[in-house]
Structure 1
Amino acid sequence: MREHFVWVSTRRIKPGALDAFERAWRPDPYPEGLRHAYAYWSEDGLEITGVSFWDSRESCDSWRGSEAETRRREAMAPYVLEEREGFYRGRELGVPVR
Structure 2
Amino acid sequence: MEEHFVWVTTRRIRPGALEEFERAWRPDPSPQGMRRAFAYWSEDAQEVTGVSFWDSKEACDSWRTSESEAQRRANMAAYVVEEREGFYRGRELAVPQR
Normalised by the length of structure 1, the TM-score is: 0.99
> What is the aligned partner in structure 2 of residue 10 from structure 1?
10
Structure 1 residue 96, shift from structure 2 partner: 1.3
User: Alpha carbon RMSD of aligned pairs, Å?
Assistant: 0.4
Distance, in Å, in 1 between the alignment partners of 2:65 and 2:83 is 17
Aligned-partner SS, 1:78: coil
Distance (Å, rounded) in 2 between the aligned partners of 1:48 and 1:30: 19
In the aligned structure 2, how far is the partner of 1:51 from the partner of 1:12? 15
Q: By how many angstroms is 1:97 displaced? A: 1.9
- Asked if 1:62 corresponds to 2:62, the answer is yes
- Unaligned ranges ≥5, structure 2: none
User: Which residues of structure 1 form unaligned runs of 5+?
Assistant: none
Identity of aligned residues (%): 74
CA distance in 1, matches of 2:6, 2:53: 5
